[in-house]
């Protein structure tokens, strides 16, 4: 850890130094190889299957997810080949990477692990849905949204009381971002974008994480960042209806080309995709 760190952090360069000095948990070799495929246009099904098969717990998790009631398949899927064929490489890969991430990070003291990841998965579900609506890669949106709150866990390593304080106050995401910027100078998206950079995630995901709290504040607009912004707000909601949709920033929905009225008619009331 950077010696004599004084908060808030003042510059991006200092944030990079702090994140690099943190004792981050290492991704497994399998996860690293999976992440490396995110930048490839085509991934061999056999290669992906063989990677996943190296981890029995991951294999079991993928088959449970493939057979979950959410997908509604009448016939049980018993093999990885079957799961990949039915669900697609992109979805299986995203959830395999998420499996490693969720099992790599420990929740700080004062944060319930199951509640924390359930919130992340709910936001990820909305990100996938909105991405589909605006023509983005839904699996990339799902995985990127799931990663946002990792920044909160990383913040806990150099400001230990911050995550528990936000959690105990049950702060909505925009208030949590404001608190983070006040305390450490940056929000969780800024922090986890540097982690994603160190882990060699694609530039599009790194950029979206960095911009998701303030997607309209940059000259180069990232549609994925805007999707994350909306999804994280919706992820705070116990259910989504016309009233909660009015809390979405209209300037962000308009930039994505989505109207609130359209959302009210089409968006699911609950979206939780567990891994």
Task: Render the burial of 231-257: b for 16+ CB within 10 Å, e for the rest.
Answer: bbbbbbbeebeeebbeebeeebbeebe
Q: What percent of the chain has pLDDT over 70?
A: 91
pLDDT in tens, 186-234: 999 999 999 999 999 999 999 999 999 999 999 999 999 999 999 999 9
Q: What is the pLDDT of residue 272?
A: 52
The per-residue pLDDT for 169 is: 56
Angstrom distance (rounded) from CA 92 to CA 86: 10
- Whole-angstrom distance, CA of residue 177 vs CA of residue 143: 20
Q: Higher-confidence residue: 115 or 37?
A: 37
Quote the tokens at residue 70.
Answer: 């959410």
Domain boundaries, the chain: 12-266
Q: Does domain 12-266 fall into CATH 1.10.3210.10?
A: yes
Place of tokens 């809390």: 247
Return all residues near 82 (Cβ < 8 A) that are at least 6 apart.
Answer: 66
* Window from 24-33, 41-50, 156-165, 264-273 with minimum mean pLDDT: 264-273
Nearest one of 247, 249, 255, 189 to 223, comparing CA atoms = 255
- Across the chain, mean pLDDT equals 88
CA distance 41 to 38: 8
Question: Quick check: 167 pLDDT over 80?
Answer: no
């Amino acid at each position: 850890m950077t010696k004599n760190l004084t908060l808030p952090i003042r510059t991006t360069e200092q944030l990079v130094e702090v994140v690099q000095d943190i004792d981050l948990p290492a991704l497994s070799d399998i996860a690293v190889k999976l992440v490396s495929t995110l930048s490839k246009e085509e991934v061999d099904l056999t290669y992906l299957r063989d990677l996943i098969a190296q981890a029995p717990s991951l294999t079991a998790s993928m088959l449970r997810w493939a057979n979950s009631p959410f997908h509604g398949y009448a016939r049980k899927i018993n093999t990885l080949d079957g799961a990949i064929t039915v669900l697609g490489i992109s979805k299986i890969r995203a959830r395999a990477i998420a499996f490693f991430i969720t099992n790599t990070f420990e929740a700080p003291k004062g944060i319930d692990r199951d509640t924390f990841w359930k919130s992340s998965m709910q936001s990820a579900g909305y990100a996938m849905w909105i991405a589909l609506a605006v023509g983005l890669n839904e699996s990339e949106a799902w995985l990127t949204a799931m990663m946002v709150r990792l920044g909160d866990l990383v913040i806990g390593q150099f400001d230990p009381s911050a995550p528990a304080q936000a959690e105990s106050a049950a702060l909505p995401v925009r208030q949590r971002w404001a608190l983070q910027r006040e305390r450490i100078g940056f929000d969780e998206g800024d922090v986890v974008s540097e982690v994603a950079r160190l882990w060699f995630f694609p530039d599009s995901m790194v950029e979206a994480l960095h911009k998701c709290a303030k997607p309209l504040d940059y000259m180069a607009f990232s549609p994925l960042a805007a999707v994350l912004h909306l999804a994280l707000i919706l992820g705070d909601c116990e259910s989504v209806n016309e009233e909660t949709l009015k809390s979405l920033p209209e300037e962000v929905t308009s930039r994505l080309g989505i109207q609130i009225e359209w959302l009210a008619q089409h968006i699911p009331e609950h979206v939780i995709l567990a891994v």
